[in-house]
Amino acid sequence: MVSANPSLRLLDDAVLEQTSVVANNAMNRDRRLSGVNSYARELGFDPYERLVTLLGERPGGQPSWIDVCCGSGRALLAAEAGLAREFPEADVALRGIDLVENFAAEPSTPRLRLITASARDWRPDRPADLVTCVHGLHYIGDKLALIVAMIGWMVPGGVFAAHFDPHSIRHADGSSAARKVLARLRAAGLTYNARRHLLTAHGPVTIDFRAEYLGADDRAGPGYTGQPAVHSYYRGW
């Protein structure tokens, strides 16, 4: 456990991952690929359609999608099923990573791997065309480190999209670091859509935040989704 100021109890990420906020059964882990409760709706584009477009643009290429904090993996499983139906010969790599092993089904082809791991220490074996994190960053301790990692996982021309609350980044005194973090992200070429709470990039992108991560507050209360979220503390910007 680390502390930024005496009144605040900050957790390191291994401890954070054991807390009820992160290992919470009530959170929405079950978004589909398309429809009402879906990735297409939350992201503003359908990842499957993006993969299909890539198959058309690059015959013989290997389109790939990494979904960080994939929850039940339903979106990836639906993409796998769609590919099996429509493009049975296509070489496509689908990867889902989640801390909790709560996947809706086993993958039915080698195209899809659903991996139980913390995103903080998982690394892909190759860069991807699409890197998504749908409402996952809210539960991460060192969010800036994960953003930096994910935006480096794209192939040239790849797409990154993640939900992000800039106010969940805090200075050591507890004040919001939203303005600072958004300025840095925008300077590096990322786009933040405040209405969708969506951070996007076309990559790969590199950023050096030069901020020291102090720890996470799992008692920050509800974020913009209405669910309890985690605040992440930094100093030395």
Ligand X SMILES: C[S@@+](CC[C@H](N)C(=O)[O-])C[C@H]1O[C@@H](n2cnc3c(N)ncnc32)[C@H](O)[C@@H]1O
Taking the complex as a whole, the smallest distance from the CB of residue 61 to ligand X amounts, in Å, to 26
Q: In Å, what is the CA distance from 98 to each residue of 10, 29, 235? A: 23, 10, 28
- Note whether 69 binds ligand X by CB under 6 A: yes
Which of 2, 15, 27, 220 contacts ligand X by CB under 6 A? 27
Which residues, in sequence order, are CB contacts of 137 under 8 Å at separation 6+?
A: 69, 143, 146, 147, 162, 163, 164, 165, 168
- Note whether 20 binds ligand X by CB under 6 A: no
- Note whether 120 binds ligand X by CB under 6 A: yes
CB atoms within 10 A of CB 91: 13
Which of 79, 94, 97, 130 contacts ligand X by CB under 6 A? 97
Which of 10, 11, 17, 114 contacts ligand X by CB under 6 A? 17
Task: Mark 129-158 with x for binding to ligand X (rule: CB under 6 A) and - for no binding.
Answer: -----xxx--xx------------------
Residue closer to ligand X (CB basis): 90 or 160: 160
Amino acid symbol at 149: A
Q: Helices marked H in 112-212 — which ranges?
A: 143-151, 178-187
Q: How far apart are CA 69 and CA 137, in angstroms?
A: 8
Q: What are the residues binding ligand X (CB under 6 A)?
A: 17, 22, 27-31, 69-71, 97-100, 118-120, 134-136, 139-140
